[in-house]
């Protein structure tokens, strides 16, 4: 399968270039990658992401609070995140283009609506409720609505609250 070959080549380069892995860990990572690619080719795994030691900062504060993935990363130097069919796949780089169609006229810190699409898709099922505690002009609530979610927005500014309500056509709770 062409896609598996391309995916494998990218991860092989990452392993090869890693300064965090020992030679032994690199060998183990190559072997584990081959096994994972085989699982994808056989249809047993839909897709995956391979994380190498040093690529991300782990969230633990002490050695007793490690998640299973963090333990595997610490012990082996790599960890696989397997994706289920039809699940959202998040990449290391998000291509989100800046936008401010109102030139800062309505809000001092507008953000592109694309910025909230992945987090909503990953954390809230269709029909679920998205909470935006700093709703501003309502971009998150508008996107949630477009994606088939309900939304609740909290805002201390009456001006922004009015803009958010108008932007959501009354389909969000504030």
Q: Can you spell out the DSSP letters for 26-81?
A: HHHHHHHHHHHHHHHHTTSSSEEEEEETTSS----SSGGG--HHHHHHHHHSEEEE
Q: What percent of the chain has pLDDT over 70?
A: 72
CB proximity list for 99: less than 8 A, separation 6 or greater: 110, 112, 113
Considering the entire predicted model, what is its pTM? 0.48
Residue 28 pLDDT > 90, yes or no?
yes
The pair phi, psi for residue 39, each rounded to 5°, is -65, -35
169 or 125: whose pLDDT is higher? 125
22 or 64: whose pLDDT is higher? 22
Length of the chain: 174
């Amino acid at each position: 399968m062409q896609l598996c070959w391309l995916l494998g080549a990218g991860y092989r380069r990452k392993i090869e270039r890693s300064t965090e892995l020992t030679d032994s860990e690199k060998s183990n990572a190559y072997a584990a990658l081959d096994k994972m690619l085989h699982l994808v080719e056989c249809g047993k795994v839909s897709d995956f992401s391979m994380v190498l030691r040093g690529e991300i900062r782990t969230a633990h504060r002490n050695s007793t609070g490690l998640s299973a993935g963090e333990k595997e990363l610490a012990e082996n130097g790599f960890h696989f995140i397997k994706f289920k069919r039809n699940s959202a796949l998040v990449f290391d780089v998000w291509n989100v283009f800046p936008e401010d169609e109102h030139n800062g006229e309505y809000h001092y810190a507008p953000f592109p609506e694309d910025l909230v699409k992945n987090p909503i898709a990953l954390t809230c099922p269709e029909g679920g409720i998205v909470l935006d505690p700093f709703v501003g002009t309502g971009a998150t609530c508008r996107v949630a609505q477009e994606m088939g979610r309900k939304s609740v927005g909290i805002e201390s500014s009456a001006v922004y609250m009015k803009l958010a309500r108008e932007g959501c056509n009354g389909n969000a709770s504030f």
